[in-house]
Amino acid sequence: MKKAIPEQANASATLSHRSVLLQESIAALDIKANGIYIDATFGRGGHSRAILSQLGDSGRLIALDRDPQAIEAGASLASDQRFSIHHCAFANIKTVVNDLGLYGKIDGVLMDIGVSSPQLDDAKRGFSFQKDGPLDMRMDTGSGVSAAQWLNTASLSEIATVIKQYGEEKFGTRIAHAVLEQRVIKPLETTAEFAALIDKAVPVKDKFKHPATRTFQGVRIFINGELKQLELGLAESVDVLCTGGRLVVISFHSLEDRMVKRFIKSQSQGPKYPSKLPLTQAVLDLGKILKPIGKAIKPSDEEVQRNSRSRSSVLRAAMKL
């Protein structure tokens, strides 16, 4: 009999973070007491604590995160011998698993994609247009270039493409022109400056969405290479799973969800044969790597009321064949 999952698995309210689709993601993992699991996006540990609550003494949880603050938060679980945390992006999941000698032995991988509430709420991180702070946006503050550094040096076409492609913002070219005009006068340095520039550049406002929403999303995705990370992370997760292992992915916007949906679909289809060939089902099944589990799951109305940031989340799950 499965143990009940405590609400937020005792995650501290001081971390100002509520794990999205918590009960649903743990159910999709179908946790075995002695299994080996990976929380590929530790964040503030809500999902990790829930997984640990389902594991027995011989179970094991490996957590990953590229945010140094998340690694610091993971120290609160250091006394649990079943748990370890590693400072890296989930695109490096195979390296971590190989180093631990656990390739092909993982029973489940959970990926909670995107920016976390603590990252959004910390003005110093520069993720939110609602809080004035340095225009940084890096998930790993110890590497790469900040959003400000990139915006103040990139070409017009580069900026416009990123905003339109990753932010799905139709006024990307207008915003890019505004950035180049502004940086001649004074380089962009803060989130408030960038948000005000976007607000002025966008000619038509959406009454349900701040005009900077899409642009901030697009720049953040680009700065952190999020879609490439997701592409690599999905492939590497499947590689390390054992037969019957589960892949569970929570995404927060359409670009991510489309990637996850297409990946699971592509991995669940075998080779293409002429329709009239007399082939057995066993032959047709050869080459199929994943089996989708159920339909996409979205948060309940109750969860959205408790946590408005869960509104756009989608969970998809699959099992390795």
**CATH number assigned to the domain comprising residue 218:** 1.10.150.170
Question: Which residue ranges make up the annotated binding site for S-adenosyl-L-methionine?
Answer: 45-47, 65, 90, 112, 119
Say if residue 103 is in the same domain as residue 189.
Answer: no
225-282 tens-digit pLDDT: 999 999 999 999 999 999 999 999 999 999 999 999 999 999 999 767 677 676 666 6
Say if residue 180 is in the same domain as residue 261.
Answer: no
pLDDT at res. 10: 43
Which residue has tokens 């966008």? 202
**CATH number assigned to the domain comprising residue 232:** 3.40.50.150
Which structural domain, as residue segments, surrounds residue 147? 141-223
Flag whether 126 is in a domain: no
**Length in residues, the chain:** 321
Indicate whether 7 pLDDT > 70: no
Number of domains in the chain: 2
Domain termination site, one of 205, 223, 241: 223
Whole-number Cα distances in Å, 8 to 11, 25, 39, 51, 301 = 5, 12, 15, 11, 17
Which residue has tokens 């509104």? 311
Say if residue 58 is in the same domain as residue 185.
Answer: no
Say if residue 68 is in the same domain as residue 20.
Answer: yes
Residue of 217, 214, 233, 216 lying closest to 66 (CA atoms) = 233
Domain termination site, one of 223, 246, 263: 223
Question: Which residue ranges make up the annotated binding site?
Answer: 45-47, 65, 90, 112, 119
The amino acid at 184: V
133-189 tens-digit pLDDT: 999 999 999 999 999 999 999 999 999 999 999 999 999 999 999 999 999 999 999
